[in-house]
Structure 1
């Protein structure tokens, strides 16, 4: 056995056996709340994995600030890798230009670097919390599997926003995307920027779909929940049919049907939904954004 294969096997064994320690008993109960929206049935985590191992790709949609979601993503990656079906991981948090910085360097070598060096080599952007995503990045690198940037560069996104030209989309999809963008910016986005923001959102969806298509099955994309929607997100531009898995916050006593976004077509917004506890937020993100906008 070659050294790389040996290291990968050891990493798989360590991660698979460590998974129970990633969640508390209460979180384990929440992990069983998986809904197949296509069939209208509840799934155990084992049944969920049985669905995912057959998929060409899996699009996992998260709330970026929810640690439960980050833990579940690492659990999913470990489980798919342990079954020998993980073809690689695409991250919204990395772009194509960043990928060029580390492409070709063996992941097991990168995984041994200190945080400061690894972030520098990846060109990691401060807008993404390294404490939240660093463990996932190291996990994929330790497995020796492809790690790909799915996003566009900041410069490319800025250029699209400034053109303010609406992309070619079915009107029902464009309408839902606009609403998601408005809500995502707490209703504070100037109307003059809306079409440009829509163009950037769709271009990012297409870029992530293209990155997924270059990986063997089962490829996993980790992205924000709007990108993961089956009816308006990456799945519209990806083929063959990926499975969309939404990680959705559900508070105690809350009706699970009330927390799902409304689909723009006859199908569900996600193929599968994994309900999790909400993140503990010490401030209202919209209040903080309003304060920044109001500041001179």
Structure 2
């Protein structure tokens, strides 16, 4: 299931308030889909984590931003940020710690584990060549995912690269789904923070979750940043060696 855009917008509009959220879905897994550079999203993510923790309903916080196998389990609630980053094997070059620290540390302070959920980088090359991944989504979903890959690369990705990149995306979604499922606890909610495309029910993580797991996807409202993403991607492509 996916929360409707009106509800998402109303939640985001109130995210500057310091208190807990009024109502959080009673589900096994709550998937929060962010725009990675939206300034308002980290505050709302922290509020979801804090609200569930205060209600004793937070089973775990899982992250696209850390690789599967990394975990804060075993760290004390008073652990410092450096300890937490080390436990999560945080890649500060890829993900700005300051953006995700509020939600992560809210979970740690509540004594709730934070888990890396993403496919390890060392597994990506194998995923590109793994034809079995093509069968994990129905045909229309595969085509939609391929089109999302093209658009996400500003239609500048060479066509022979589309299928391998689609396989990586599917493998990443499956890894996140497996992490969510393994962290599920009766009567509690596992939260995932990931990019918006990963939480889309038709093509993303929900496609790989067990049917018995009650999951809700909330794609946070898009925020206008004024950035020309395609111009930046074009510059990156031009800097690559031939």
**TM-score range relative to shorter protein:** 0.7 to 0.9
Question: How many matched pairs?
Answer: 222
- Counterpart position of 2:108: 141
Q: Which of 247, 259, 263 is residue 220 of structure 2 equivalent to? A: 247
Report if aligned partners of 1:95, 1:153 keep a CA contact under 8 Å in 2: yes
Give me the whole-angstrom Cα distance separating, in 2, the residues matched to 1:164 and 1:194. 14
- CA RMSD for the aligned pairs? 2.4
Compare CA radii of gyration and give the structure with the larger one: 1
Q: Distance in 2 between matches of 1:133 and 1:158?
A: 27
Residue 122 of structure 1: CA displacement?
2.8
- 1:69 touches 1:247 (CA, 8 Å); kept in 2? yes
CA offsets per residue over residues 222-276 of structure 1, 9 Å max, x none? 1111111111111111132301111021xxxxxxxxxxxxxxxxxxxxxxxxxxx
Query: Unaligned stretches of 5+ in structure 1?
Result: 1-34, 250-277
Which among 183, 198, 206 is matched to residue 227 of structure 1? 198
With normalisation by structure 2, the TM-score equals: 0.82
2:179 matches 1:211: yes
Change (3 A) 1:88 1:290: same
From 280, 284, 287, the counterpart of 2:225? 280
SS in 2 for 1:173: helix
- Counterpart of 2:97? 130
Partner of 1:68: 40
Name the CA distance, whole Å, in 1 between partners of 2:24 and 2:97. Answer: 30
Is the 1:63–1:225 contact (alpha carbons within 8 Å) kept by the matching residues of 2? Answer: yes
**2:155 match: secondary structure:** coil
Gaps of 5+ in 2: 15-20
Cα distance in 2 between the residues matched to 1:82 and 1:95:
27
Question: TM-score w.r.t. structure 1 length?
Answer: 0.68
- 1:1-46 per-residue CA deviation (whole Å, 9 max, x = no partner) reads xxxxxxxxxxxxxxxxxxxxxxxxxxxxxxxxxx943xx9758659
Residues 164 and 74 (structure 1 numbering): CA distance in 2 closer, same or farther, change over 3 Å?
A: same
Other structure's SS at 1:248 match: coil
Counterpart CA distance in 1 for 2:221 and 2:193 is 14
Deviations 1:79-122 (A, max 9, x none): 111222111111010112433xx54333x243x24x4x543443
- Name the SS for the 1:84 alignment partner: coil
| Structure with higher RCO (Cα < 8 A, 6+ apart) | 2
Equivalence for 1:199: 167
Q: Which residue of the partner structure matches residue 59 of structure 1?
A: 31
